[in-house]
Amino acid sequence: MTRLHRERQGHGPPVLLLHSTLSSSRQLRPLATRLASGFTVLSVDRRGSGGSLVDGPAEPVGVTAHIEDLAAVLSDERLGPVAAVGHSFGGCVAIELASHRPDLVSAVFAYEPPYAPVASPAVRQGMAEVGRQTLAARDEGGLAAAALAFMEGVSGPAAVQALSPSARARVERAGQGAVADATLSGMDPDALERIGCPVRIATGGASSPLYVEIADALASRIPGADHQRLAGLEHMAPVLRPDVVAGAILGFLT
C-alpha cells in the first residue's frame, strides 16, 4: 500500500476530509481549519493525488483500494468511527467507505459526488467519455495532458483556457490523480441500502444539474439520507467558499 499523505489538526470528534479529483488536502486546508474549531480533522491525499503519488505507470484506482487505504490510515491515526466528509469523487469514496466499512463511519457529508451508477444513462455515458478522453490523453501526451483533458471534460474548454499560468501548472501536476479517478470504477450501488449512519448529500445552486440528479437518486436509495441545496455555490465551493461549506457541515454534524 502507498503511504498516504495526511494532515491532522484540531481536537474533538474525528472528521475524515477527502478531496476532489485534481485536488489535495492542501487545497482543503481553509475548510479543514474551520472544521477544526470543534473537531479533530484528518485530511488525506487519496492514492495518486497530492503527496500520495505512486511509483510506476499511472493507472485508474478502484474504490476498493481507496477503502483499504483509508482503513489503514484510520488505524494508524487511532481514529474512528469518523464523520466522512468528501468533495466530488472524495464524496463517492466517503459513501463507499460508509457502505463497506460501517464500523469506521459515524456520518457522511458528501458535496456533489459524481456517483455515476445512480445517474441517468446519458450522464453515465458522459462521465465514461471523460474517463476515456483522460486515459487517451495520458497515452498520447503524458500526465499533464491527462489532467487538462479531465478538466476540459468536466468543466469545458473555456475553463482550461481561463487558467492562469500558475493554476495551469498546478492542474498539470495533478495528472496522476486525474488518471487514478478517470474511470470512477468500483462503486457498488447495491450496497447503499446497508448504510446506517446519517448521510447528507449537498449540492450548489450554481452547479451543473447533473449533481442534483445524482444527489436526489442517492437520497432516495440511502436509508434516512437527505439532499441539501446551498444557494449560489458552484462545484468548487469547498475550495473557493470554505466558510459557507464549513457552516453547512458543522450544522449537519452538530
Question: Could you count the other beta carbons within 10 Å of the beta carbon of residue 101?
Answer: 17
Dist. CA 200–CA 252, nearest whole Å = 8
One pLDDT digit (tens) per residue for the chain, 254 residues: 568 999 999 999 999 999 999 999 999 999 999 999 999 999 999 999 999 999 888 999 999 999 999 999 999 999 989 999 999 999 999 999 999 999 999 999 999 999 999 999 999 999 999 999 999 999 999 999 999 999 999 999 999 999 999 999 999 999 999 999 999 999 999 999 999 999 999 999 999 999 999 999 999 999 999 999 999 999 999 999 999 999 999 999 99
Cross-strand bridge partners of residue 106? none
Dist. CA 177–CA 45, nearest whole Å = 10
Look at residues 231, 213, 204 and name the one whose alpha carbon lies nearest to residue 87. 204
Please, what sign has the CA dihedral across residues 84, 85, 90, 91?
positive
Q: Cβ neighbours of residue 121 under 8 Å, at least 6 residues apart? A: none
Dist. CA 143–CA 37, nearest whole Å = 37
63 and 89 in contact (C-beta within 8 Å)? no
Dist. CA 131–CA 38, nearest whole Å = 38
Q: Is 193 exposed, middle or buried (0-12, 13-18, 19+ CB in 10 A)?
A: exposed
- The reported pTM is 0.96
